[in-house]
């Protein structure tokens, strides 16, 4: 099997020498064991780095054809860089594994991913067994994120980042999702096919700094929710309905107050109007939102289905 590794790199000059060395060792071992063919490649995607990352990738390629490089015209973010790499190599390989440049994802899990592929699985998710090595902050925010995603009805694999193997067929299917707002963790489960998980221990970044500061993490989470789910729109309609119910409560309450006789003239009318109108307005926005949500999903032009097998005697 011809295996390609796709690694997005943004300002990773500090980690590249070590990463390339260790990956080369891993590949040599896998080739020696006959698990992957000698024409397998390690592909670095330079995501518009401002440091020497691209120069280093060029050097690596020159010294060893096992390494390949793809350079993006400017910084487009992790998800786009990943997609660029996967889409560029998809027709050349039997399967591709995506991983980060910092080796936080244990590269020994590659062996198991390859084994699973040979067993017939087309998507193999790398799942962190624990987050002991992550900072308390990263751990809580990340786990909160998975919970929110689930509450929003987005199917994601718990504790799985973008460390995964995809077969060529799965990659071809992925290419049919031509949305611009890319949230791969949500899209890959939609691609389907026979999938499984392998667990690994997530390590620390061995050099350099995280390229995902809080600001980017929040943007990423928002992207994930708004690109995968129209539930927030539905919440407006629900809220409108609730406010409308409250207005009925207020109506009853103000009638009672009126009969007890302790109200100012016109108060009941005003109180009920405010609640009822507010409720109706929110409900109306919710209904409009429901249609906008539909338009939104239509504009994504996602495939309606992906055929995995066709029994045909011709």
C-alpha 121/C-alpha 165 separation (Å) is 9
Least distance to Mg ion, CB of residue 27, Å:
21
Q: How many residues bind Mg ion (CB under 5 A)?
A: 3
Smallest gap, in angstroms, from Cβ of residue 300 to ligand UDP?
23
Q: What are phi and psi of 136, to 5 degrees?
A: -55, -40
The two structure tokens encoding residue 283: 């409900």
- Among 102, 122, 134, 162, indicate the residue that binds Mg ion (CB under 5 A): 102
User: What distance in Å separates the CA atoms of residue 227 and residue 154, rounded to the nearest whole number?
Assistant: 10
The count of C-alpha atoms lying within 13 angstroms of the C-alpha of 231, restricted to the half-sphere facing its C-beta, is 12
Closer CB to Mg ion, 104 or 159, in the complex:
104
Q: Which does 9 bind (CB under 5 to 8 A by kind): ligand UDP, Mg ion, none?
A: ligand UDP
228: burial class by Cβ within 10 Å (0-12, 13-18, 19+)? Answer: buried
122 binds Mg ion (CB under 5 A): no
User: In the complex with ligand UDP, which residue's Cβ is closer, 43 or 233?
Assistant: 43
Q: Quick one: 49 exposed, middle or buried, by C-beta within 10 A (0-12, 13-18, 19+)?
A: buried
19 binds Mg ion (CB under 5 A): no
Q: Using CB distances below 5 to 8 A depending on partner kind, what does residue 289 bind out of ligand UDP, Mg ion, none?
A: none
Quote the least distance from Cβ 77 to ligand UDP, whole Å: 5
The one among 19, 20, 79, 104 contacting Mg ion by CB under 5 A? 104
Paired sense of beta strands 67-71 and 41-46, if any: parallel
Give me the residues that bind Mg ion (CB under 5 A), please.
100, 102, 104
């Amino acid at each position: 099997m011809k295996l390609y590794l796709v690694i997005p790199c943004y300002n990773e000059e500090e980690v590249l020498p070590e990463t390339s060395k260790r990956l080369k060792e891993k590949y040599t071992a896998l080739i020696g064991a006959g698990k992957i063919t000698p024409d397998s490649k390690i592909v670095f995607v330079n995501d518009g780095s401002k440091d020497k990352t691209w120069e280093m990738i060029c050097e690596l390629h020159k010294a060893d054809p096992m390494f390949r490089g793809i350079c993006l015209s400017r910084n487009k973010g992790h998800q786009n860089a990943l997609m660029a790499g996967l889409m560029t190599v998809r027709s050349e390989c039997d399967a591709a594994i995506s991983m980060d440049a910092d080796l936080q994802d244990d590269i020994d899990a590659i062996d198991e991913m390859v084994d699973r592929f040979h067993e017939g699985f087309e998507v193999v998710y790398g799942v962190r067994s624990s987050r002991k090595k992550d900072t308390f902050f990263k751990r809580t925010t990340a786990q909160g994120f998975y919970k929110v995603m689930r509450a929003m009805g987005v199917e994601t694999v718990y504790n799985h980042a973008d460390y995964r193997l995809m077969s060529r067929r799965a990659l071809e299917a992925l290419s049919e999702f031509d949305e611009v707002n890319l949230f791969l963790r949500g899209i890959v489960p939609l691609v389907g096919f026979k999938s499984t998980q392998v667990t690994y221990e997530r390590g620390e970044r061995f050099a350099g700094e995280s390229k995902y500061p809080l600001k980017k993490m929040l943007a990423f989470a928002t992207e994930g929710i708004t690109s995968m789910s129209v539930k927030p729109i539905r919440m407006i309609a629900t809220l409108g309905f609730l406010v409308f119910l409250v207005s009925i409560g207020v109506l009853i309450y103000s009638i009672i107050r009126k009969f007890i006789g302790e109200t100012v003239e016109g108060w009941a009318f005003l109180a009920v109007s405010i609640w009822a109108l507010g409720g109706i307005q929110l409900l109306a926005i919710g209904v409009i939102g429901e249609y906008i949500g539909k338009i939104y999903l239509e504009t994504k032009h996602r495939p309606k289905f992906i055929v995995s097998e066709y029994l045909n005697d011709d």
